[in-house]
Structure 1
């Protein structure tokens, strides 16, 4: 029995991040400025993308990507119901219709074999979601998109650092949207980014993230700037701040180390837990590099609510990812979805529990989680 509480997740922050943020405070640049630009350059270099646009969240990144594609009223966007609220909500917010496609039971990711059946003349884009840090089958998805002239907007909220066929997630689809929320593999506190190889969309994305003002509006407050500006579009207040970027700059430099630790701990979990009957440990696609934003465990023979309660009694916090979107009242009432529409997503949801997994944990913490699981299952 642990004597100290083990949180479900904690960010890995030390003196480098603190000094970087203090440097921004001392400089006077608190909103978007030179550190945001530096952070964008680091994201682009890391992912292998030509461009990176830093924004306030992954939700903002998804929203702006849909707008840049011109997606709106009467359009349809294919995605998975096995995701967080933002993936579906942004589709609705631009006036389009979310069209859900079921997932594979092994990877939790959208099933490419089901995508083509969902395409109609109104379909304009596909949003694959890289669940838990493991890439979707991007080869098949890109092939389907090219054949049907569709945009691919990757929801990579879980997948910074992940790879597919040796390519970093961030340089495959038309747009890739990242999250830097505190629970993610690296953090800026709140924040996100869009990466793209398409020169055509960059200026529009940069303008839309800051009220539709010209893309370098932040320079108005530097010695390179001018007081004059023009509103070129009806945009949003979606920019990242220099304070956030200051936190992110040392974080991205540590990202590979963070991912290596996550993989090490995930392997320890799997080696021990895979031997327990009635538990399914995560599947790893050999074509993808899994960065283990989550460690999803499937309980086939045990009551999940009771399991989470018992873990809590042992001072260990767990979570559940996700309640499928089609089971929520808004999507049921607005689009007529019902239980049974996406059986694989529902099967996973009814059994999934996410164990603590983050670099700030120690080996002793990982082993205490394993011991707690074994104690609950075998008692």
Structure 2
């Protein structure tokens, strides 16, 4: 079986973990500080702070930005549900706008149309590692005095004109989940050039403690700290990251070339000047001979990992169809998401399928996947 995901874990990670174990200092400390410094340098921001996972990174960043109950945050429905949930967790309102049919990313023209007097922020998601049109989004944000939080949880190493995603917005959140471009098993990090925002984030993730530490607390906070035991894996993974992204881009380029003249397949497009990190390679299927689900079944029967990722966009999930049951709904008016029609996201949800493109997929594996996809199409 060629798996859909497979992290690279080697002696470097094992030795890094053992060094922390031998030190006796397992909780968040100097190893985590080193990961923050080195990851911020890699992304191109001044500051970073680690968290327990990508979800808490998003939540912490939104909280540090000052998002309040009733505030509206514009985002995409074609994403992992944590993007929207972290908005709702603060009592704010996710405002879903549709995506571009080619890039699968939030449509900047629709962002502008969705802005109201309650809008406080935009959360673009670099879906599958593919950069959003950050130039347009930042222009819109500046024109309307809005904050921008990049959900870069899938986009470590993606760039726009050579500048890494996660360095465009007022803040960004990354995930180090087991399937991501770099992993710590679970983990996350917030990046920003705003020192005050990062200081707020540090306080939020550490029970509301101030810089001086100890047992003085200044606001309601949480325990979203990352253990040095986990950060040690992150440091080893960060060394691997450029090669991992390069390999994923090579695999994606091979798929793009093979499928270029296949009318039934439309790969995810990348905007001019950008380079996707290809956390996921997921073309859309347009065929009268085989359904998307049958394509997935066919690939699996031939020992190739395949799946749909976001078949059901956020606004179609029971979470949002039943938003009136959420605790904040007693105080905040949420839209009736059941009345929301976002046809592009819904269509991509029903057509896309993921095939293996991760860094442990070999050129021979790529050829096998291509041959099997084409065979399924009767070619």
| Alpha-carbon offset, residue 330 of structure 1 | 2.0
What's the TM-score, normalizing by structure 2? Answer: 0.93
Q: Does the CA-based 8 Å contact 2:39-2:238 persist in structure 1?
A: yes
1:208 to 197, 204, 207: 204
Measure the CA separation in 2 of the matches of 1:16 and 1:210. Answer: 29
Out of 319, 323, 334, which is 2:307 matched to?
Answer: 319
How far is the alpha carbon of 1:145 from its aligned partner?
Answer: 0.6
Establish whether residue 154 from structure 1 lines up as the match of residue 150 from structure 2: yes
Query: Structure 1, residues 283-331: CA drift from partner, whole Å, max 9, x if none?
Result: 1222211111110111111301111111111111112221210111221
CA contact (8 A) 1:214 1:229 kept: no
Alpha-carbon distance in structure 2 between the residues aligned to 1:244 and 1:320: 30
Tell me by how many angstroms 1:216 deviates: 6.0
1:41-120 maps to which residues of 2 (within 5 A)? 41-120=37-116
CA distance in 2, matches of 1:355, 1:249: 28
- Structure 1 residues not aligned, in runs of 5+: 218-227
SS at match of 1:212: coil
Contact persistence 1:178–1:193 (CA under 8 A):
yes
SS in structure 2 opposite 1:355? coil
Q: Map Cα deviations across residues 97-119 of structure 1 (whole Å, 9 max, x no partner).
A: 11011000010000001111111
- 1:338 — aligned with what? 338
Secondary structure class of the residue paired with 2:183: coil
Matched residues, number: 365
Q: Find the aligned partners of 1:147 and 1:247 in 2 and give their Cα distance.
A: 41
Distance in 2, matches of 1:339 and 1:259, equals: 39
Secondary structure of the corresponding residue to residue 53 of structure 1: strand
Q: Which runs of 5+ in 2 are unaligned?
A: 324-334
Q: Distance in 2 between matches of 1:359 and 1:236?
A: 35
For residue 153 of structure 1, give the secondary structure of its aligned residue in structure 2: strand
Are 1:296 and 1:355, in contact at CA under 8 Å, matched by a contact in 2? yes
- Matched-pair contact (CA < 8 Å) for 1:327–1:339: no
What TM-score, normalized to structure 1? 0.93
The residue aligned with 2:371 is: 371
Query: 2:308 and 2:16 mapped to 1: Cα distance?
Result: 34
Note the C-alpha offset of 1:337: 1.9
Which residue of the partner structure matches residue 330 of structure 2?
none
Distance (Å, rounded) in 1 between the aligned partners of 2:345 and 2:160? 23
Cα offsets for 1:73-104 (capped at 9, x unmatched): 11111001111110110111100111011000
Shift of residue 172, structure 1, vs aligned partner: 1.0
Question: CA contact under 8 A between 2:48 and 2:189: conserved in structure 1?
Answer: yes
- Alignment correspondent of 1:125: 121
- C-alpha distance in structure 2 between counterparts of 1:123 and 1:279, whole Å: 37
2:263 and 2:76 map into 1 onto residues whose CA distance is: 29
What is the CA–CA distance in structure 2 between the aligned matches of 1:339 and 1:305, rounded to whole Å?
27
Distance in 2 between residues matched to 1:114 and 1:61, nearest whole Å: 26
Instruction: Report what 1:251 is aligned to.
Output: 237
Give the secondary-structure state (helix, strand or coil) at the position aligned to 1:295.
coil
Measure, in 2, the Cα distance between the counterparts of 1:181 and 1:42: 19
Q: CA RMSD in A?
A: 1.3
State the distance in 2 between where 1:319 and 1:30 align: 37
Match for residue 138 of structure 2 among 142, 150, 155: 142
1:257-291 CA distance string (max 9 Å, x none): 11110011111111112222311123122221111
> Retained in 2: the 8 A contact 1:8–1:318?
yes
Asked whether the 8 Å contact 1:270–1:282 carries over to 2, the reply is no
The structural deviation recorded for 1:215 is 3.9
From 20, 29, 49, the counterpart of 2:16: 20
CA distance in 1: counterparts of 2:67 and 2:352, whole angstroms: 33
2:297 paired residue number: 309
Equivalent in 237, 241, 264 of residue 250 of structure 2? 264
